[in-house]
Amino acid sequence: MDSANSQYLSPWAKKSLTFFLWLSPLFSLGPFLAFGILFAFPKEFRLRLKAIAVIAVYILNWILFYPVELLHRSSMEWEGKINAFLAQDGTTFRLKFGFFIVCFLFLLSNYLHSLFRNRKRELVRQVRANREFPNSQIRTEMRVRDSKFDTILLVLVLALVFQYLFLYITESLNPQKNLSPLAPLYDVHQFVFNYSISICILVFSFNRNKIPSLLAKPYLRYMEGIRIRESWKQAVKTEGKFPLRLELIIKQKAKFRDQLLPGFGHIYVYEYWRGFPILFLTLLLYLFSAVWVFSYISPIFGIQFLAGFGLKPGIPDKDFFISSQNIAYAVFSLAALVGLYFYSAMILEKSFSLENLGIKKDKDGESEPFFKPGLRKGFRNVLPLSLLFHLVLLCLVFLIPISIQRGKKKEQSAQKNDHFRPEKMEFYFIDPNVPDDTQGLNGGVITGNETENKEKGEKISNEKVADNGPVKGYIKKIRGKKVPPTYSNYISAKMRIPESYMDYWAKAPHPYSSVVAYTITQDGDVIDVELVEASDYPDQDLRTLQLVESLGPLMPPPGTKSDIRVTELFWNGPIDPEFVPTPLQKEMINLFDGRYMEEIPE
Amino acid sequence: MKEMGTFDYLIGAATVFPWAVVIWRAYKPKKGWQEVIGILFALVFGWLATDLILRLHPILWPETDFSPKKKVSLLTQTAHLAFIQAGITEETFKIFFIMVLSFVLGYDRKTKEFSPSVVLFGGFVAMGFSFIENTHYIFREPEEKKLNLFIARTIHSSNIHLLINLCFSMFLLKSNLKQDLSAKRLIVIFGFVLAVLQHGVVDFLLIPGATIGLWISTAMFVGIWVWVVTDWRIYVIEKKSQSNLNEPSEVPVI
């Protein structure tokens, strides 16, 4: 059963690789080392099984948690629902326990399956022994360990210990505690990941490297495909004969892989120069399609989706918002993706032509024999590489990392005075004429505070807010009304991106509060960032300033003729004036997202 | 400011030690005095390369902060940092020393062929370089972040230097297959350009700190590993197996 290529790897190399493979998630190598092992050691039967287990754990976690993260990013309504669900007492424990039960059920079904197979095997042996050696007994008992019930219990408990060990290492490496609303979900995610990896380690170790019973059939089938392919490669290299029947099996397996992901089928038959460009094109087109479809649903969702990858649009937000509402982009991306599926299948089919397989004589001299290294000639072979090159260039233009700024930084303006005049604050953000019964315009965000109307508004100071706070002048505030998506909503959504990228809330002390003022220009640049009220934590204050600086470029403020000045409270603690230290902060904590905005006179 | 001490150098050495063991054990052709001396020189040359770069850096780029932290920067600045400051400078120094060692200790002037030992020289120059670079980076980091950086430098940085230079050494061995001197030279130049590109692209993707950039660079890093493993099988093991079919052989598990 073991590989025939033991000449390649010595026992120490196998053990080192196995150890490194199990620890690869801790070393931030993701599933890539596992993929590397699949490519580098095609005949290593047991090592490949472990690599596939690591990849399966990543896929399982992705399926379980990514949709939730995506939903959380999709709208404020979902964000609120998920946060509220996670904030309930005992949610984390219940989710973890649920996964523990799922693992138990999986191991139990594996045990029952293994028991059944083992008994069947023993019966066959017994019949044979009785027939050939009538008066003797079979000495060995059950040799497959996953058919023992105590093994299940041992694996379940020991996996918990392993999980805590992984958790301890992770926390030692990253001691910062995550305080974001999604922290309970990350906690469950970490448990699920570590626990599933621990179970894989133990199941493969306790069973003397035998395949878990439930996985045996599909894995053997998969390895059969790899073995036939390797034999074919060997036969081609040595110019030996290879049965057509097996070549057709390889064709079938390549086509199946290509249907899963275009390019994968080509890679399977070592057509790297064609397979990898098609595969990368597919992945990029999936990314583009998702961005355009999500942005069409809501531009902020598109931006949030990109932020999950650490990216942002390389064009100004205003242009992005306009473009995203053009459905042609989404349709074109999806059509290109579908086209690529057909194209890849078509050239894969051509690869297995009778000329290439050596069945029919090549009259035109255009045959492309398998396992020949290098890029093949011809338009259809070069096209994917060329398309990929162009799409990568397009990516560098339209999708850029969050931390990267495009264009030169604008000089800081000298306008720093008179930055807070609340009587102007909402006229371009909230339309006061929106009827009270307007439903679901922005997910029901409650804006403003308790003041009913302009007449009953309070006096706000005309002086600099940093000195006196809002005490003079009139203010219009709207209470509890559902309003259209406002510019303030937009700033809040944009701020989530650097917050997540910088782990801002994970690093924030509790309680923490500071006030920062900044100007948003007509070009959407964020300038004149100023710390109005510092906290007792200079490191976090610096992070707050960096957070605001990394906010730009923004969409220009709508309906204004000049720049706007924003004064914003950053706080980490209860939304209660009693818990913030200064009068200004006590005032600001009740505002929507703790933010005042005003137009700076021209 | 506190000076670097023996302990700091030991920590730096620990970041490359596992890979040194792997390369030593995976290299199955006979390791004679030439190889041992070559390895010692390679480590010294790697050290020298880092030291030269550290000294030249303030002269060539006086205004750039030479720290490994993430920065908000322009796309062009990132490209400059990745391809010019890191890619070209570091690879030029390292490859220069690999070439010197390979010509002195791993080149047969009669047959005009490189011996498989050039992979040892390439690997150990990279490890000498990483040793000093890692020592500096870990020394500068605050106490509470040292462990994290130690693991990152051990797993990622030391490895990528090692793999890039092993890949270049494989190109030296590939040049043996060419008869014509200019073709040989072209292969070596191509190996150098590829090393610069590999280094540049990995850094270009890593510097901005985007998640997707980290994924692509890790995928690239593993891809280079697969390439080196496959080439090692062809140019180091099979060569050796031809001369001695009875001995078992291995591939590196870098």
Residue type, A30: G
In chain B, which residue's Cα lies nearest the Cα of A171? B148
User: Could you identify the residue written with the tokens 């120490």?
Assistant: A12
Whether pLDDT at A224 is above 90: yes
Q: Which two tokens stand for residue A550?
A: 């990394």
Q: Which two tokens stand for residue A519?
A: 């100007």
Integer angstrom CA distances of residue B211 from A272, B40, B67, B207: 25, 38, 20, 11
Whether pLDDT at A414 is above 80: no
Q: A509 falls in which pLDDT band (50, 70, 90)?
A: confident
Cβ distance B222 to A549 less than 8 Å, yes or no, reads no
User: Whose CA is closest to B221, among A278, A35, A12?
Assistant: A35
Facing residue for B72 by CB, picked from A12, A403, A408: A403
Of A223-227, A464-468, A527-531, B192-196, the one with minimum mean pLDDT is A464-468
Question: Could you report the predicted ipTM of this complex, rounded to two decimals?
Answer: 0.87
Of residues A370 and B129, which shows the higher confidence score?
A: B129
In chain B, which residue's Cα lies nearest the Cα of A174? B148
Interval A104-109 mean pLDDT: 93
Cβ distance B253 to A17 less than 8 Å, yes or no, reads yes
Of residues B187 and A404, which shows the higher confidence score?
A: B187
- Closest approach of A404 to chain B, Cα-based (Å): 5
Alpha-carbon distance of B228 to B218, in angstroms, equals: 15
Cβ distance B208 to A20 less than 8 Å, yes or no, reads no
Question: Domain boundaries in chain A?
Answer: 11-230, 247-401, 422-599
Q: Which two tokens stand for residue A123?
A: 């019966």
For B214, how many CA atoms within 13 A lie in the half-sphere containing its CB? Answer: 16
**According to the model, what pLDDT value does residue A426 have?**
39
Question: Domain boundaries in chain B?
Answer: 6-239
Q: A412 falls in which pLDDT band (50, 70, 90)?
A: very low
Q: Which two tokens stand for residue A24?
A: 């690869």
Q: What mean pLDDT is reported for chain A?
A: 80
Residue A385: count of CB within 10 angstroms of its CB: 17
A480: left (phi over 0), alpha (psi -120 to 50) or beta: left
A173 inside 8 A of chain B by CB = yes
CB of A356 within 8 A of CB of A334? no
User: Could you identify the residue written with the tokens 């309680």?
Assistant: A511
Whether pLDDT at B94 is above 70: yes
Whether this model's pTM surpasses 0.90:
no
Cβ distance A32 to B155 less than 8 Å, yes or no, reads no
- Strands B73-74, A404-405: parallel, antiparallel or unpaired by DSSP? parallel
Q: A165 falls in which pLDDT band (50, 70, 90)?
A: very high
Integer angstrom CA distances of residue B45 from B38, B50, B114, B122, B158: 10, 9, 19, 11, 16
CB of A289 within 8 A of CB of A334? yes
CB of A250 within 8 A of CB of A265? no
In chain A, which residue's Cα lies nearest the Cα of B216? A32
Q: A425 falls in which pLDDT band (50, 70, 90)?
A: very low
Alpha-carbon distance of A79 to A85, in angstroms, equals: 10
**According to the model, what pLDDT value does residue A421 have?**
38
Q: A396 falls in which pLDDT band (50, 70, 90)?
A: confident
For B124, how many CA atoms within 13 A lie in the half-sphere containing its CB? Answer: 23
Alpha-carbon distance of B154 to B179, in angstroms, equals: 39
Residues of A in contact with B233 (CB under 8 A): 8
Whether pLDDT at A562 is above 90: no
Facing residue for B253 by CB, picked from A16, A30, A407: A16
Whether pLDDT at A239 is above 50: yes
| B206-242 per-position pLDDT tens digit | 877 778 888 999 999 999 999 999 999 888 887 655 5
DSSP track, A340-352: HHHHHHHHHHHHT
- Closest approach of A476 to chain B, Cα-based (Å): 38
Whether pLDDT at B113 is above 70: yes
Interval B90-107 mean pLDDT: 93
| A242-283 per-position pLDDT tens digit | 888 999 999 999 999 999 999 999 999 999 999 999 999 999
**According to the model, what pLDDT value does residue A472 have?**
37
Q: Is B125 exposed, middle or buried (0-12, 13-18, 19+ CB in 10 A)?
A: buried
Q: For residue A312, what are the β-bridge partners?
A: A400
Facing residue for A405 by CB, picked from B72, B226, B249: B72
Whether pLDDT at A442 is above 60: no
Contacts across the A-B interface (CB distance below 8 Å): 102
For B62, how many CA atoms within 13 A lie in the half-sphere containing its CB? Answer: 1
**According to the model, what pLDDT value does residue A8 have?**
64
A237 inside 8 A of chain B by CB = no
Cβ distance B156 to A28 less than 8 Å, yes or no, reads yes
User: pLDDT exceeding 90 applies to what percent of chain B?
Assistant: 55
**According to the model, what pLDDT value does residue B22 have?**
93
